[in-house]
Amino acid sequence: MKSADQRVLATFAAYLRVEKGLSARTIEAYLSDIAQFSEFQKDRLLGTAKREHVRAFLQKLHADSVQPRSVARKISALRALYRHLLLDKAVKQDPTLNIEAPAQWRVLPKSLRADEIDGMIASRMPKGDRRLDKAIAIRDRAILETLYAGAVRVSEVVGMRMLDLQLEEGLVVVRGKGDKERIVPLGEGAVTALRDYLKQGRPEFVKTRQSGNVFLSAGARPLTRQRVWQMVNESSRSGRHASPHMLRHSAATHMVENGADLRTVQTILGHADIGTTQIYTHMKLDHLRNVFKAHHPRGRRAK
């Protein structure tokens, strides 16, 4: 690989580890996919890639009969790389913009069962006898409830301000991508957990310093996205890797499975295009198939 591209990947790996909180295994997979694209570029550097180069790369993968799941992961890796480079002003244009994988390549997002989420929330118990230990447990339960109830992104949770909370109405204002604001409803569980946190948890973090952020760490410092990722994964009791984004996907999946219309789910999630939300209709179909197979007399093949 070209030395300039190696430097780009080293910086990108640090970004994925520190800012995104991704596991070493996931980062290694991303870097491997991007290195493959770099080799395909031959004499061109990653920073000089154009849309036609990305399209040509995808066409080669398709011609080589690469598995759809692998192709989707490579697209995701490249998209993450160029968004990072664009934010760092290392490139002027994102060559992956408006490049979508064919429908048959799309990978359905992973979600958790409702009982798995209940187990995660119940797992946040104090690790010691200090008042701070209790405050951390109360805070973490409130974060988990908020992530799932509002289907919010981890960046929206760590950036949530006290002025954003409207607990009497069961609502919260969140700022999503592009700094766009939207109002998200919260269920009774999340409202109760937030009130408990504001009364018994947050005062332990706010002593000598003040902060407008809702969720804090010691010294009234705002929580980082990495810390929330770690906490969510630690809370999983099913043996499965869990992330804040899985809670968001789970909320959307459960709403659609229980009859919510796509426009409402789109509004709650903050999707600019309803096409992004429509992926959950596929998940609903999978749910219906599983229920059919489990309960219909003709749902299972005869042995």
Q: Which H or E run includes 91? A: none
Q: In the predicted model, is pLDDT for residue 302 greater than 50?
A: no
Q: What is the pLDDT of residues 137-174, one digit of tens each?
A: 999 999 999 999 999 999 999 999 999 999 999 999 99
Among candidate residues 124, 141, 153, 202, the one labeled active-site is 153
Assess whether pLDDT exceeds 90 at residue 203. Answer: yes
Cβ-contact 125, 267 below 8 angstroms: no
Q: What percentage of the chain reaches a pLDDT higher than 90?
A: 37
Q: How far apart are CA 108 and CA 279, in angstroms?
A: 7
**φ and ψ at residue 110, rounded to 5 degrees:** -80, 145
CA distance 174 to 29: 32
Residue 105 structure tokens: 């390549």
Q: Are the beta carbons of 228 and 244 closer than 8 angstroms?
A: yes
Round the average pLDDT of the chain to a whole number and report it: 85
205/101 Cα distance (integer angstroms): 45
Cβ contacts of residue 46 below 8 Å, gap of 6+?
A: 4, 5, 8, 34, 37, 38, 81, 85
What does the alpha-carbon distance between residue 24 and residue 30 come to, in Å, rounded to a whole number? 10
Beta partners for residue 213, in sequence order: 161
177 is catalytic: yes
Check residue 89 and give left, alpha or beta (phi > 0: left; psi -120 to 50: alpha).
left
Domains for the chain: give ranges and CATH numbers: 3-105 (1.10.150.130), 114-287 (1.10.443.10)
Least confident of 111-120, 163-172, 272-281: 272-281
Write the burial class of residue 82 (CB in 10 Å: 0-12 exposed, 13-18 middle, 19+ buried): buried
Assess contact for 95 and 53: CB atoms under 8 A: yes
Q: One of 74, 248, 249, 254 is an active-site residue; which one?
A: 248
Q: Which candidate in 79, 106, 245, 287 is catalytic?
A: 245
Q: Which of 62, 127, 177, 180 is catalytic?
A: 177
The answer to which of 26-35, 100-109, 147-156, 257-266 has the lowest mean pLDDT is: 100-109
Look up 153 and say whether it is catalytic: yes
